Copies of this chain bind each other. A is one copy, B any other.
């Protein structure tokens, strides 16, 4: 929206996106936020119900500056998002990248990349946008799959709800690198370093009723 490159390349920090600790790990860089969001598809969506917090795992996809979250029309957060005011939410995505083992128990930590999005979620009511959002969800989770599955029909689209959350109030937090032991601990005899952690995909398991002549597609076997 702004003409200045710096504003276009970063989200504006707000009171609730500036962390109270480890501020040096926080970033508002748009490209970094997009990269972290695009590298996952499972988020934790928080909302308030009867004054108390609720956090549920949900699938999401990013399209430009908007996140789409999928769910049935009967689920709690989606009902709230259908009301006129929308639903205040906090959507968080966390990649665990490593266990960081210091010589001292105190300095043990993890390497991670996370994004926290604050905003008001709204139901997507436009049929064309909802259909496009569902395609984006399937394609984001399994690239190549939209062209290799039966598209949703009108009845299925009517039974599915999608909520949208715009990327305005957003921050990323990243920790990388090795342990940070205190100088007086460097001579201790304990191994120290990082145990890398990743998400791994196994061999595709065909459904019992799959025609055996249909081979697993390349977009799965090369993942």
Contact = CB atoms under 8 A, between A and B. Distances in A.
Contacts of A16: 49-50, 52, 54
A138 interface: yes
B53 A88 contact: yes
Q: How large is the interface on A (under 10, 10 to 19, 20 to 34, 35 or more residues)?
A: 35 or more
A10 to B, nearest CB: 21
Interface in A103-125: 103-106, 108, 110, 112, 114, 116, 118
A181 B210 CA distance: 11
A35 interface: no
A178 interface: yes
A56 B43 CA distance: 11
B52 A48 contact: yes
B76 A20 contact: yes
A193 B200 CA distance: 17
Contact of A105 (B72, B138, B192, B204): B138
How many protomers of this protein does the assembly include? 2
A54 B46 contact: yes
Contacts of A192: 206-207, 209-210
A152 B202 contact: no
A101 to B, nearest CB: 6
A6 to B, nearest CB: 27
A201 B149 CA distance: 33
B156 A104 contact: yes
A39 interface: no
Most buried by B among A44, A76, A210: A44
11 contacts: A42-B110, A99-B141, A103-B149, A106-B152, A106-B156, A106-B160, A191-B204, A191-B216, A193-B204, A198-B199, A199-B199
